[in-house]
Amino acid sequence: MSKTINDTAFNFPKQKSVYKGKVREVYNINDEILVMIASDRLSAFDYVMPKQIPFKGQILNQIASKMMEATKDIVPNWIIAIPDPNVAIGHLCTPFKVEMVIRGYLSGHAAREYKLGKRIICGVEMPEGMKENDQFPNPIITPATKAEDGDHDEDISKEDIISKGIVSKDDYEVLEKYTKALFKRGTEIAAERNLILVDTKYEFGKTIDGKIVLIDEIHTPDSSRYFYADGYEERQSRGEAQKQLSKEFVRQWLIENDFQGLDGQKIPEMTDEKIIEISNRYIELYENITGETFVKSDVTNILERIENNVIQFLNNSEFIEI
In a domain, 236, yes or no: yes
SS3 sequence of 74-140: CCCECEEEEEECCEEEEECEEECCCEEEEEEECCHHHHHHHHCCCCEECCEECCCCCCCCCEEEEEE
In a domain, 229, yes or no: yes
The domain spanning residue 216 has which CATH number? Answer: 3.30.470.20
pLDDT interval class at 151 (50, 70, 90): low
Structural domain count, the chain: 1
- Whether the pLDDT of residue 2 is over 60: the answer is no
In a domain, 191, yes or no: yes
% of the chain exceeding 90 in pLDDT = 83
- Whether the pLDDT of residue 103 is over 80: the answer is yes
- Taking CA atoms, 237 is separated from 134, 195, 228, 229, 302, in Å, by 10, 18, 15, 14, 47
**Cα distance between residue 108 and residue 270, in whole Å:** 23
| pLDDT tens for each residue of 207-262 | 989 999 999 889 988 889 999 999 999 999 999 999 887 777 888 899 999 999 89
In a domain, 131, yes or no: yes
In a domain, 168, yes or no: yes
In a domain, 90, yes or no: no
**Cα distance between residue 16 and residue 29, in whole Å:** 6
Task: Please give the pLDDT value at position 53.
Answer: 94
In a domain, 157, yes or no: yes
3-state class (DSSP) for residue 42 = coil
- Taking CA atoms, 235 is separated from 11, 59, 103, 202, in Å, by 51, 29, 19, 29
- Whether the pLDDT of residue 150 is over 90: the answer is no
Which ranges constitute the DSSP H helices of the chain? 56-71, 108-115, 158-163, 169-192, 232-237, 248-256, 272-290, 302-316
pLDDT interval class at 318 (50, 70, 90): low
- Taking CA atoms, 98 is separated from 63, 79, 155, in Å, by 22, 20, 10
Task: Report DSSP state, residue 241.
Answer: P
| pLDDT tens for each residue of 253-310 | 999 999 998 989 999 999 999 999 999 988 988 999 899 999 999 999 999 999 999 9
Residue range of the domain that includes 192: 100-246
pLDDT interval class at 322 (50, 70, 90): very low
- Phi-psi region for residue 210, left (φ > 0), alpha (ψ -120 to 50) or beta? left
Considering the chain, what is the average pLDDT of its residues? Answer: 92
Counting beta carbons within 10 angstroms of the beta carbon of residue 18, is it exposed (0 to 12), middle (13 to 18) or buried (19 or more)? middle
Task: Please give the pLDDT value at position 251.
Answer: 85
In a domain, 202, yes or no: yes
- Whether the pLDDT of residue 46 is over 90: the answer is no
The widest CA-to-CA distance across the chain, in whole angstroms, is: 59
| pLDDT tens for each residue of 85-100 | 999 999 999 999 999 9
Strand partners, 91: 33
Task: Please give the pLDDT value at position 169.
Answer: 98
